[in-house]
């Protein structure tokens, strides 16, 4: 099973999950600092204060990436390092870190893929309403431009936002993520302002000469329980309506405005019933519809739903009245997430049909398991099986015509898994949090061989 010649192989991380050094070189506070330090929000009271200490160990980490033969490394920039208060003059010491990181990646022949927002909003902006405040979108565009001004001469690939659905609906809807607010109306507003920020930033970056622009979404195929194991299963009319609605709320809410400049009617209805639609101003959709080159797809598992007449909306899913979120009949990872590899090919084929004008890249895919180090090795057979299964589906999607440019595994390192803290290990490289020692797991060595062979 050989992949296209120019297929890009790599790994992904995010600033708050790996960097640590939260008080160094003038970094301001982010909503994740505040949230993780408040008792009860994160498992075991974990915080990102030290994380993988990548801020100090990035040189060794790049050496590791080189040994693993990665061609691309997707990382995110911490906005509070660049503008400690979320606006105003840039902090040169914060930018200097990413400047060195990019230079060393290029010296190791690894292409940097920069994500501008992976959830660590400056707390100062949250204090003024965060993403519920329209002004935050404009602040984001300024910040994006400042980062591009420093790195744009060497970085080709730019992602604006990571997973705006998660940022809006887990951050402002059910409160499982920072800033921990719980109001459907706030989530709907935040989602729109995130999109506006994406459009404004994409336009500024394009004007400044950015070569490749990307929006990264958490997308999943939405399936009925029967469709999980039988793609040809025909759902009842009511179940099909639930599937259609949730697909609109999860994926089309973001990609339709970005690619077509329109909102699905399900999203407008959900907004109308949760705080109203006044925040969607004339001209916004045109701004959001900035030309992009790629959609980044983060896939972990399918979203399984069926109709359940008269159900209240799920806290994270305004507009999902009458929908029951079901479980898949499939084995699960340590996160409890069902393992359904062919969900990935079904998703990629669908996205390539619905949005043919953009290329696709798998910007995250991977799994957490309860890894143990024995005699300096981690035999993570389950992760190897997970990755192998999903890569076969990536290949299948390419054969079926999807314009898929690359695959980035989540994650390079075990790291701070948001509300789950450090107990969930997604890395292909093990991190001992007491010593911060890195040990490549069997999956890392396996992945290196996949990259070298450009196939399975």
Q: DSSP secondary structure string, 151-197?
A: HTTT--EEEEEE-HHIIIIITTTS-SSTT----HHHHHHHHHHHHHH
| Residues in 195-254 at the binding interface with ligand FCB, rule: CB under 6 A | 218
Could you give the residue ranges of the DSSP H alpha helices within 230-337? 237-247, 253-260, 265-273, 284-288
Q: At closest approach, how far in Å is the CB of 14 from ligand FCB? A: 5
Q: At closest approach, how far in Å is the CB of 363 from ligand FCB? A: 9
Would you call 234 exposed, middle or buried from its count of C-beta atoms within 10 A (0-12, 13-18, 19+)? exposed
Q: At closest approach, how far in Å is the CB of 30 from ligand FCB? A: 14
Candidates 104, 306, 364, 382; catalytic one: 364
**Toward ligand FCB, which CB reaches closer, 216 or 287?**
216
**Toward ligand FCB, which CB reaches closer, 41 or 162?**
162
| Residue 163: active-site member | yes
Question: What backbone phi and psi angles, to 5 degrees, belong to 316?
Answer: -90, 0
Tokens coding 228:
């999980």
Tokens coding 74:
């997707």
Asked whether 335 and 382 are in contact (CB, 8 A), the reply is no
Q: At closest approach, how far in Å is the CB of 76 from ligand FCB? A: 9
**Toward ligand FCB, which CB reaches closer, 17 or 224?**
17
If DSSP codes are grouped into helix, strand and coil, which group holds residue 302? coil
Number of H helices, E strands in the chain: 17, 13
If DSSP codes are grouped into helix, strand and coil, which group holds residue 228? helix
Work out whether 426 is an interface residue with ligand FCB (CB under 6 A).
yes
Stretch that binds ligand FCB, among 41-49, 55-63, 158-166, 398-406 (CB under 6 A): 158-166
| Residues in 162-201 at the binding interface with ligand FCB, rule: CB under 6 A | 162-163, 166
Give the residues across from 303 on adjacent strands: 222
**Toward ligand FCB, which CB reaches closer, 14 or 360?**
14
Q: DSSP secondary structure string, 33-92?
A: HHHHHSTTSSGGG--SSSTT-HHHHHHHHHHHHHHTT-SEEEEE--HHHH-TTSSSS--H
Total residues at the site for ligand FCB (CB under 6 A)? 12
Q: How distant is the alpha carbon of residue 396 from its chain centre?
A: 23
Stretch that binds ligand FCB, among 124-132, 149-157, 159-167, 261-269 (CB under 6 A): 159-167
Q: At closest approach, how far in Å is the CB of 386 from ligand FCB? A: 13
User: In the set 3, 98, 418, 422, which binds ligand FCB (CB under 6 A)?
Assistant: 418
| Residues in 276-315 at the binding interface with ligand FCB, rule: CB under 6 A | 298
**Toward ligand FCB, which CB reaches closer, 35 or 426?**
426
Instruction: Report CA-CA distances (Å) from 71 to 110, 151, 356.
Output: 5, 18, 26
How far is it, in rounded angstroms, from Cα 13 to Cα 48?
13
Which residues, 6+ apart, have CB-to-CB distance to 303 below 8 Å?
Answer: 220, 221, 222, 223, 246, 250, 325
Per-residue binder mask for ligand FCB (CB under 6 A), 331-370, x = binder: ---------------------------------x------
Candidates 19, 126, 145, 163; catalytic one: 163
Q: At closest approach, how far in Å is the CB of 368 from ligand FCB? A: 7
Which residues, 6+ apart, have CB-to-CB distance to 171 below 8 Å?
Answer: 31, 119, 130, 131, 177, 178, 179, 180, 181, 187, 190
Closest CA to 25 of 92, 79, 112: 92
User: In the set 192, 199, 417, 422, which binds ligand FCB (CB under 6 A)?
Assistant: 417
**Toward ligand FCB, which CB reaches closer, 176 or 439?**
176
Q: At closest approach, how far in Å is the CB of 162 from ligand FCB? A: 5
Q: At closest approach, how far in Å is the CB of 209 from ligand FCB? A: 28
Per-residue binder mask for ligand FCB (CB under 6 A), 60-79, x = binder: --------------------
**Toward ligand FCB, which CB reaches closer, 263 or 426?**
426
| Residue 306: active-site member | no
Give the residues across from 215 on adjacent strands: 295
**Toward ligand FCB, which CB reaches closer, 418 or 446?**
418
Catalytic residues: 163, 364
Tell me which residues touch ligand FCB (CB under 6 A). Answer: 14, 17, 162-163, 166, 218, 298, 364, 410, 417-418, 426
């Amino acid at each position: 099973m050989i992949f296209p010649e120019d297929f890009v192989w790599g790994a992904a991380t995010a600033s708050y999950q790996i960097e640590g050094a939260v008080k160094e070189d003038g970094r301001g506070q982010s909503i994740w600092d505040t949230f993780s330090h408040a008792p009860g929000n994160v498992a075991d009271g974990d915080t990102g204060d030290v994380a993988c200490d990548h801020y100090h160990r990035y040189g060794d980490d790049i050496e590791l990436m080189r040994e693993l033969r990665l061609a691309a490394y997707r990382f995110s920039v911490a906005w509070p390092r660049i503008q400690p208060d979320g606006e105003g003059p840039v902090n040169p010491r914060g930018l200097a870190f990413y400047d060195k990181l990019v230079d060393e990646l290029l010296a190791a022949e690894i292409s940097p893929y920069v994500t501008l927002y992976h959830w660590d909003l400056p707390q100062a902006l949250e204090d003024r309403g965060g993403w519920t405040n329209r002004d935050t979108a404009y602040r984001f565009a300024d910040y994006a431009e400042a980062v591009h001004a420093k790195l744009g001469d060497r970085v080709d690939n730019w992602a604006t936002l990571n997973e705006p659905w998660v940022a809006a609906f887990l951050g402002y809807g059910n409160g499982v993520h920072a800033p921990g607010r719980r109001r459907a109306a706030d989530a709907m507003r935040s989602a729109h302002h995130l999109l506006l920020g994406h459009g404004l930033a994409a336009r500024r970056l394009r004007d400044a000469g950015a070569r490749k622009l990307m929006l990264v979404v958490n997308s999943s195929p939405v399936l009925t329980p029967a469709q999980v194991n039988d793609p040809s299963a025909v759902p009842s009319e009511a179940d099909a309506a639930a599937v259609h609605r949730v697909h609109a709320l999860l994926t089309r809410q973001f990609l339709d405005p970005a690619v077509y400049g329109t909102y699905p009617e399900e999203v407008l209805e959900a907004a109308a019933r949760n705080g109203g639609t006044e925040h969607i101003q004339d001209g916004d959709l045109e701004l959001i519809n900035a030309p992009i080159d790629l959609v980044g797809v983060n896939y972990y598992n399918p979203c399984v739903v069926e109709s359940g007449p008269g159900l209240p909306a799920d806290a994270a899913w305004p507009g999902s009245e009458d929908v029951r979120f079901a479980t898949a009949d499939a084995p699960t990872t340590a996160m409890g997430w069902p393992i359904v590899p062919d969900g990935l090919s079904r998703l990629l084929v669908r996205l390539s049909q619905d949005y043919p004008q953009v290329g696709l890249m798998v910007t995250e895919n991977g799994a957490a398991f309860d890894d143990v180090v024995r005699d300096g090795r981690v035999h993570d057979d389950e992760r190897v099986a997970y990755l192998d299964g999903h890569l076969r589906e990536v290949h299948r999607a390419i054969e079926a015509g999807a314009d898929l440019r690359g695959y980035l595994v989540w994650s390079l390192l075990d790291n701070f898994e948001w509300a789950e803290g450090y107990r969930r290990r997604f890395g292909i490289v093990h991190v001992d949090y007491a010593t911060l020692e890195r040990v490549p797991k069997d999956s890392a060595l396996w992945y290196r061989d996949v990259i070298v062979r450009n196939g399975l």
